[in-house]
Amino acid sequence: MMEVDVGKSRISNTAEPSLYRSLALEYYRAARAEAVQRLALREQVLLASLTVSGVLAGFAFKSNSSESDRWLLILIAFIVLPFTVALVRHDHISALLDEYIRLELNPFLDLPQEVTHNSGVQEDRHKAPRHWDFSLYLGEELGRFLRVEKVVHIALLCLPAVAALVALPFILHGIHGKGARILYVFGCLSTLFSIMLLTSYKLRDLLFGPPHVQEEKMPVPHDQI
């Protein structure tokens, strides 16, 4: 019987299943903590975007503002892109953490896993209580929630930029000068790319890589063999 030193204790190979579960539980807690942190950072990105857009609009429409002051509105169309990239990056890492929990930690935690039989009937492989991440209610509501969330993100991030681009030609009575037109076109492209990045998962996968990894055969604790 092989023994392994762990600090001042000695653990034999018969204790491997419980050791694996303990390690998986610690990794699960760390992954969940980072996922929650990513959600908080994502909300901060939205708040920062609205704050910066409001400040720029305030300077542009201040009393006795000049034409150069009003051109500050075009900056809203440019800053939307880095804020969008930051938000999508947090979403992408959250998806990677979800895949890590589902594919790599799940087998060691005895969390519910659905198995489809030849008859088409699905059942849980393990009869353990369902965690919120794997709850049936969350699975039913997640699709609708993500659709609403996408609309909210587009509205909060891109609507100020679209409004600035629409308002700028009316405020300035047209976009005059070659340099001004080029700047306006690049602002439109920045806003358009931000909207595409928020709505197209294919574009996200192209830039950041797909969140879904190839499912490999994971080592299974001895008591489940």
Domain count, the chain: 1
In-domain check, residue 81: yes
Domain that holds residue 51: 13-110+128-213
Per-residue pLDDT of the chain (225 residues; tens, 9 = 90+): 444 343 343 444 445 667 888 888 899 899 999 999 999 999 999 999 999 999 999 988 887 778 888 899 999 999 999 999 999 999 999 889 988 888 888 877 765 555 444 555 455 555 566 666 666 666 667 778 878 888 999 999 999 999 999 999 988 888 888 899 999 999 999 999 999 999 888 888 888 877 655 444 444 444 444
Report how far residue 146's alpha carbon sits from residue 156's, in angstroms, rounded to the nearest whole number: 15
Q: What is the pLDDT of residue 13?
A: 45
Q: What is the model's pTM?
A: 0.74
Tell me, yes or no, whether 208 lies in a domain: yes
Confirm whether 117 is domain-assigned: no
C-alpha–C-alpha distance, residues 88 and 91, integer Å: 5
For residue 2, what pLDDT is reported? Answer: 41
pLDDT of residue 163: 94
List, for residues 70-96, the tens digit of each pLDDT value: 899 999 999 999 999 999 999 999 889
Q: Spell out the residues 6+ positions from residue 26 whose beta carbon is closer than 8 angstroms to its own.
A: none
**58, part of any domain:** yes
Is-contact 2 12, C-beta < 8 A?
yes
Contacts of 73 (CB under 8 A, 6+ apart): 56, 57, 60, 164, 167, 168, 171
Does the residue 221 lie in any domain?
no
Reduced 3-state DSSP string for 109-144: HCCCCEEECCCCCEEECCCCCCCHHHCHHHHHHHHH
> Can you tell me the distance from the alpha carbon of 106 to that of 128, in angstroms, rounded to the nearest whole number?
12
Does some domain include residue 225?
no
Q: Which of 97, 206, 195 is nearest to 150 (CA)?
A: 195
Does residue 3 form part of some domain? Answer: no
In the block, tokens 């629409």 appear at 166
